[in-house]
Structure 1
Amino acid sequence: MAQPARLEGGAEPSAARLIPIQRLAQGGRWRVEAMRAHSEPCLLWFTRGQGRITIGGVTRGYGPHNAILIPAGVMHGFEAGPQTHGMVLFFGRNSGIDLPMTVQHLRIREASKQAELSAIFEAIQRELGSDKANAARAAQHHLGLLGVWLERQVEAASDEAPRPTASKRLAARFTQLLERDFRTGLGVADLAESLGVTPTHLSRACRETCGRSASDLLQDRRLFEARRLLADTELPIKEISRSLGFTSPAYFSRAFQHRAGKTPSAFRRAG
């Protein structure tokens, strides 16, 4: 069975980590741009650059001083060019921090609020990297303050948030189902049937919300997992193929090469 999504090689960490966005992409832009989900919530804090981010099947733009909270299990990917700077805070599994349960995209326009968030990030980073007594407890308290800061910003922005369209609601339901079942070998027709819509209607909704078909989102998610397993584990290719629901290693190799430009073996050697 496929292993849970993780950030880097080795077992997925369970404690909080604060990592520069540029470092996330060091192993290949696919590590941030391809569709994936984490088993813990994370907060993206963009301080410079701009691009597009797709969360739950909905694409939107991001720019400097955007804070984006992505709950655990929510499929996402974002552009990270040379001018993109900022930090990603992974809260860890079962952190105990009270956080909003839905995706939040906050555009922090006030300089005072930007300074508040930057100060909290600096305090968390300082304690996470400290060997002083009770540093872990201090970091936990700062994480709690961050949770309060987020709640206040969400409450302040709630009146401005538009109601999601029917297409956005369907795309969100589809990506939730996709994240659960992408390893099973089910196709778009099967997932559309589970959602009570036709494949054509589902793909139309996805194209409207993120400019991509439902099939493209499904294959992108499977390809990310295939790349991750090839790069970060020593699982045999035939086992990776089986774990992702492909009918045979040969079919997996053809599908991988079509989208990645390399065979699974060549991709692993290049890593």
Structure 2
Amino acid sequence: MKKTHVSGTQDSSANRADLMIDVDKSYLAYSLPVPRPFMHFRSGHFPAGTTTQRHHHSIVAMHGSLQGPLTLQTSTGRHALDAGDFCILAPGVDHCWSNAGTHTAATVSFLIDTDRPGRWPVSSGIAEACRELNQLVQGIHYLNSAGDPDLQHAFWQIADQLTVERPWKKLGVAGRLWTFLGLVLERLSPDLINAREHGVAQQIRRLLLSRVNDRLTIAEVAESVHVSATCAKEVFRATFGCGIMSYFNELKIWQAKRLLCDPSLTIDQVSSKLGFSSPTYFSQTFRKHTGETPSEFRK
């Protein structure tokens, strides 16, 4: 895969520095066989000073950065990709890669033959996903997995599948590729905003469930899911029809009912275990949700 396309013969140090970036020293580091519609599941390495030849793919391509920075150059300009960034290219988009950094950059990539998805049952949804991909992918789409935990996890899972020394089972590889592509389709969908809002609301709900014994503020919840406090409140109410703290207190009351059935615990201890600021506030909240005080419930 090593090719050199340096032009010019002047010997000045300035010209030599300009030409260093024109040497294609890229090479294929990893490759795994994958079922259709996926093709060429690979990782490429781009040493410092590399610029690849301009090329294009006849089918949809996904290129992601495992270790950057790496610059994608197209007819519409240049875009820097760092670790976790990736792009989806429509068929026929001319592009090349350049690494102006001081360390070797690495990518993960695969192609998707949407016109020939392979022999899958209709119920699998694969042919439908390929048709949707054809409609949504026009030109170049840049995505960043940072701040999107589900997408970030899926991206690094496919990277792990490819780069481990011990090959994974074929089913695991294909399954993770489809998980990743399914999330990408959601992010490219015209309903992107609604899908993201729903995802954020579900993240908040999971956080509240896992930390029902803690004392949380709206600001802490918002920070945990990487959105503003206003956004957190709005998307949660739009999805679940109530406020974050109201839902959180409801969870705490259900937990309180369980704990109050344990005669070895005092009401003050139950209040403390559930992170209420005081037994009085616990009793007020409990009565608001159940119509009776903790003592009355216990009797």
User: Scaled by the length of structure 2, what TM-score is found?
Assistant: 0.34
User: Scaled by the length of structure 1, what TM-score is found?
Assistant: 0.37
Q: Which has the larger radius of gyration?
A: 2
